[in-house]
Amino acid sequence: MTSPSALVVLFAARWGDPQSESAFVARALAGALSRHAEVAIVTPGDPADSGVDGTFDVYRIGTHTGDWPDTCRWPMPLSGATVAVVVGGAAGVHLARAHMPGVEVVEVAGPEDPVATWVWTLTPGRTAQLGEGRVHQVGMAVPLNPLAARSRHNGFGFTDYLLVLSDRRVGGGPRHAPTPLAAWLAAGLPSAFLVVVEDAKATAFRSRSWWGEVAIDTRTDLHRLFAHARVCVDLCPGGLIGRECVESMLLGTPILVPRSSQAKQHAAGGGGLWFSDPAELLGAAKALDRPQLRDVLGVQARDLATTQFGDTTSFVRRVGEGLHDVLAA
């Protein structure tokens, strides 16, 4: 423990949202911080719903829909926080008064006095930023079920498919018709199976013909789909770490991602390929038809992801070291 008396307040724009990468990162970081200090969670929502979530006390402060005193209430017991950690996005957490230093993604302000001596924010491309511009790269740990690679998903009788993580919003269209970019792949590689993940379903296509769908009931189901694909095409990777890309890489499956995405750094590091338009997407997918290239990228992907995201113990240690440096400054 770094300091049992230290109170870390973690601001999470989407705490508890199973579909949000921001929520995943927030919970992982809260867990690591809890090994070194007391942790409390502040998040938007009805204050009457505040309570315990696992090992954490969660304070819901209302929503920012108008002038703030009428819509948000600061949990005063937390005003003595030593460190504030901010994880969120454009629809982030809003509190009162003046802006705190260093906050880039979430607008945060304190009550009469600053909420914390230090503010630590997580932003895309910068794992952890400490007050006054100092940076500690604490990384992230991504858990994985090691049994996922042993057997394919029971719903499909084939492997070596192109796994496509859809960029279509939830409920945005019929799954019997692939999204436009997935349709490019299905038409350009007519002999290959395409498995499109969308709305917790995996739908199979071949030459743009619908072959059926299965439910993705657990995270392990998704891991099995990663493990037995030739490539994971993530059309809309998460903006903080690209969690699904990391999981695919941990299982030795290379990734194919948009050039403009945060996950492009994983591909550029040796874990896969990237594209700017449909023609580049199809060209990269055809290149990965070659087993030699696919195997090389798969090994590199696993090594890269294991080094950066596969060690929970080291992640907890790095978080503790960063927190210790802040408290000792």
> 172 and 258: one domain?
yes
CB 167 within 8 A of CB 140: no
Per-residue pLDDT, 107: 47
Cα separation of the two ends of the chain: 17
Other C-beta atoms lying within 10 Å of the C-beta of residue 151: 10
Is 90 exceeded by the pLDDT of residue 92? no
> 168 and 97: one domain?
no
Convert the pLDDT of each residue in 45-82 to its tens digit. 888 889 999 899 999 887 655 444 445 667 778 877 78
Residue 174 lies in a domain: yes
> 29 and 89: one domain?
yes
Convert the pLDDT of each residue in 246-257 to its tens digit. 999 999 999 999
Residue 89 lies in a domain: yes
> 127 and 151: one domain?
no
Question: From CA 111, how far away is CA 98, in angstroms rounded?
Answer: 9
Residue 254 lies in a domain: yes
Range of lowest pLDDT (63-67, 206-210, 227-231): 63-67
Residue 260 lies in a domain: yes
For residue 214, give the CATH number of its domain. Answer: 3.40.50.2000
Convert the pLDDT of each residue in 98-130 to its tens digit. 334 444 344 455 555 556 766 766 665 555 554
> 219 and 194: one domain?
yes
Other C-beta atoms lying within 10 Å of the C-beta of residue 300: 17
> 216 and 103: one domain?
no
Give me the chain's average pLDDT, please: 81
Is 50 exceeded by the pLDDT of residue 178? yes
Structural domain of 317: 7-141+311-328
Question: From CA 252, how far away is CA 325, in angstroms rounded?
Answer: 36
Q: How many domains does the chain have?
A: 2
What is the pTM assigned to this prediction?
A: 0.86
Residue 1 lies in a domain: no
> 256 and 185: one domain?
yes
Residue 162 lies in a domain: yes
> 237 and 253: one domain?
yes
> 229 and 301: one domain?
yes
Binned at pLDDT 50, 70 and 90, residue 13 comes out as confident
Q: Which amino acid is at 98?
A: A
Residue 2 lies in a domain: no
> 185 and 230: one domain?
yes
Residue 134 lies in a domain: yes
> 195 and 293: one domain?
yes
Q: Is the dihedral of CA 292, 258, 126, 42 positive or negative?
A: negative
Question: From CA 119, how far away is CA 125, in angstroms rounded?
Answer: 18
Convert the pLDDT of each residue in 257-275 to its tens digit. 999 998 999 999 999 999 9
> 92 and 167: one domain?
no
One DSSP character per residue, 111-141 reads: SSS-S-SEEEEEETTEEEE-GGG-B------
Q: Is the dihedral of CA 42, 48, 50, 54 positive or negative?
A: negative
Report the Cα 62 to chain-centroid distance in Å: 24
